[in-house]
Amino acid sequence: MSSTDQALVFRAVERRRSAVAAFVRTLPPGVAVAALVIVLFVAAAAAPGHLQTHNPFRTDLYATLQPPSLAHLFGTDQSGRDLFSRVVEGTRQSLTIGIGATGLSLSIALLLGVTAGLAGGAVDAAISRFLEVLFAFPNLFLALLFVTVFAATPATLVIAVGIGTAPGYARMIRGQFLSVKRAGYVEAARTLGHSYGRVVRQHIFPNAMRPLVVMITLGLGQSIVWASGLAFLGLGVAPPSPEWGALLDAGRHYVTRAWWLEVMPGLAIIAFALSATVVSRHLQDRLEGRVHAG
């Protein structure tokens, strides 16, 4: 690489950096904090070793059930393991389950929602009735059924949560397609003599899919809450694992003596779900703002 090439690359990177800086500057403080929290969680999932203060699996029988202190930020559990390091260790599994469940749920929802929204008529009616039947079962019941029939592994948890949350998204996506199908610009494209396929490709699909980004971020937080809930009920990842829900499950026997065993993993779940929601709300405003403000 010649020096001019390097200079160009450097300049390009600079420009991107300044664009990022400009973007960050326009973030409201609350959203910036939420984004930072998410970055921290992602870092914890990617490289837990760099954030952990202790080995999350090493027991220390001389320091069981220690309250939070400088030595142990989140306190220790009944075996003397450092809770902070365990929460960090569990991030990867919790996020993976959350992402997997959201991905699965959106895939199912897209398939059903897009088919119903585009096809209309009898197909739409059939899918809509099917979704209504799914809605009639409480989400938790569906997930419970799934986990009971199959073994309680992280994969089962992903599938259970994915199926449980899919009907809501499917209905939302169907509604999007139906409303975009009625938009003035779709009719205008028809009067130009474009084929239906072209109208779907050019207008209906991109415009109907616009809220998807927001749905993904909102869904992530929700899925993690869901997965943790199931794990807490002993229906997901089993307690020796530091998955957040499993941590909650393990700590509930000691809740009268060691509040931090429940509060700290709970805070992690809340922090992630809240941050994901705040960021997605902001994205929503921003994306829709772009639609309105050009």
Partner 1 sequence: MPADGVPLLKVEDLRVSFGRDEPRGTVVKGVSFTLHPGRCLGIVGESGSGKSVTARSIVGLAGLGGFVHAKTIAFNGHSLIGQADRQWRRIRGRHIGYILQDALTSLDQLRSVGREVGEGLELHGVTRSAAERDARVVELLTSVGLPDPAIKARQLPSELSGGQRQRALIASALALDPELLIADEPTTALDVTVQAQVLDLLEQTKARGKALILISHDLAVVSRMADEVIVMCNGDVVEQGPAAEIFARPRHGYTRRLIDAIPSAHRRGSRLAPASAPRLRVAEEVRPEAVASGPLLEASGLVKRFRGPDKILRTAVAGVSFALAQGETLGIVGESGSGKSTVARIVMALEEPDEGYVRLNGLPWTGIAERERRARRRFIAMVYQDPLSSFDPRWTIERIIADAIPDTEAHRPGRVSELLNLVSLPASHRGRRALDLSGGQRQRVAVARAVASRPNVIVCDEPVSALDVSVQAQILDLLGDLKRELGVSYLFISHDLGVVHHVSDRVLVMSGGEVVESSEADDVFLAPRHPYSRTLLAAVPRLPIAPAA
User: 3-state class of 76 per DSSP?
Assistant: strand
Footprint of partner 1 on 184-203 (CB under 8 A): 184-185, 187-195, 202-203
Considering the complex, state which of residue 11 and residue 290 has its C-beta at the smaller distance from partner 1: 290
Question: How many binding residues for partner 1 (CB under 8 A)?
Answer: 20
Q: How far is the CB of 210 from partner 1 (least distance, A)?
A: 8
What residues contact 254, with CB distance under 8 A and at least 6 apart? Answer: 65, 77, 78, 261
Considering the complex, state which of residue 125 and residue 188 has its C-beta at the smaller distance from partner 1: 188
Q: How far is the CB of 288 from partner 1 (least distance, A)?
A: 10
Q: How far is the CB of 282 from partner 1 (least distance, A)?
A: 20
What residues contact 261, with CB distance under 8 A and at least 6 apart? Answer: 65, 75, 77, 83, 247, 250, 251, 252, 254, 255
Footprint of partner 1 on 164-183 (CB under 8 A): 183
CB 72, CB 63: distance < 8 Å: yes
Considering the complex, state which of residue 166 and residue 214 has its C-beta at the smaller distance from partner 1: 214
Per CB under 8 A, 29 contacts partner 1: no
- Element spanning 222, H or E: helix 212-232
Per CB under 8 A, 213 contacts partner 1: no
Q: How far is the CB of 110 from partner 1 (least distance, A)?
A: 20
CB 166, CB 226: distance < 8 Å: no
What residues contact 281, with CB distance under 8 A and at least 6 apart? Answer: 214
CA 200, CA 162: separation in Å to the nearest integer? 27
Per CB under 8 A, 291 contacts partner 1: yes
CB 234, CB 49: distance < 8 Å: no
Per CB under 8 A, 287 contacts partner 1: no
Considering the complex, state which of residue 144 and residue 186 has its C-beta at the smaller distance from partner 1: 186
- Element spanning 115, H or E: helix 83-119
User: 3-state class of 26 per DSSP?
Assistant: coil
Per CB under 8 A, 292 contacts partner 1: yes
Per CB under 8 A, 6 contacts partner 1: no
In this chain, which stretch among 50-58, 168-176, 271-279, 285-293 interacts with partner 1, using CB under 8 A? 285-293
Length of the chain measured in residues: 294
Q: How far is the CB of 179 from partner 1 (least distance, A)?
A: 12
Considering the complex, state which of residue 72 and residue 203 has its C-beta at the smaller distance from partner 1: 203
Residues engaged in binding partner 1 (CB under 8 A): 183-185, 187-195, 202-203, 206-207, 291-294
